[in-house]
Chain A
């Protein structure tokens, strides 16, 4: 079975440019999470969805960040305009309520973003 798919795996952009990160969760999972990971701050939850509806976006740093989930199989995280401090690894994860391990999160391979 395919796991969580993220694209691109690496993104290098210049300050001020728009960046769009993409995620395809595991089929049948009803939760989707976006995380950011840096050495200084560790793994931070940015936003999560349940059945395509945003539940908690309190971790989104500022208005430059936005996330959408138009359907159960696709989500995007957009940064506009990007800044050097946004450089990090961004993970998407999905989970299924009532699965064999309740709330086990399955992570994608991440997108390494570098903003110059």
Chain B
């Protein structure tokens, strides 16, 4: 079974703090996506990383794809209450381009004012 393990599962921090969320697997992925889900809504894509070692920045969010393309991290600088939500990583094996993504269990982030 191809799994993506996210850690931590839950994170509650104060506004202004930094945090890192990890997404790990024993499988190699051709690309990895990060989604954010707000209460009552479906997940929305934040970023896709494709190349091993790739780093992408989205304002205060920094995403990194591991050199071996088996893991990824999401770092948030100076977290704000608006960052509260469920963060999901999803891997695409690419081979055969099935369209199917493997989702992690998610990290629930709460940023308190």
Contact = CB atoms under 8 A, between A and B. Distances in A.
Contacts of B48: 101-102, 104
Given A101-B48, A104-B48, A107-B43, A95 B99 contact: yes
A79 to B, nearest CB: 20
B5 to A, nearest CB: 11
Interface residues of A, number: 25
Interface residues of B, number: 21
B45 A31 contact: no
Contacts of B90: 105
B33 A42 contact: no
Nearest to A49: B99
Interface stretch (B52-60, B63-71, B73-81, B100-108): B100-108
B31 interface: yes
B113 interface: no
Nearest to A108: B42
A14 interface: no
B98 interface: yes
B95 interface: no
Contacts of B41: 109-110
B93 to A, nearest CB: 10
Contacts of A103: 31, 33, 92, 97, 99, 101
Contacts of A76: none
Interface of B: 31, 33, 40-45, 48, 88, 90, 92, 97-101, 103-106
8 contacts: A33-B100, A42-B105, A45-B103, A95-B99, A101-B33, A101-B48, A107-B42, A109-B42
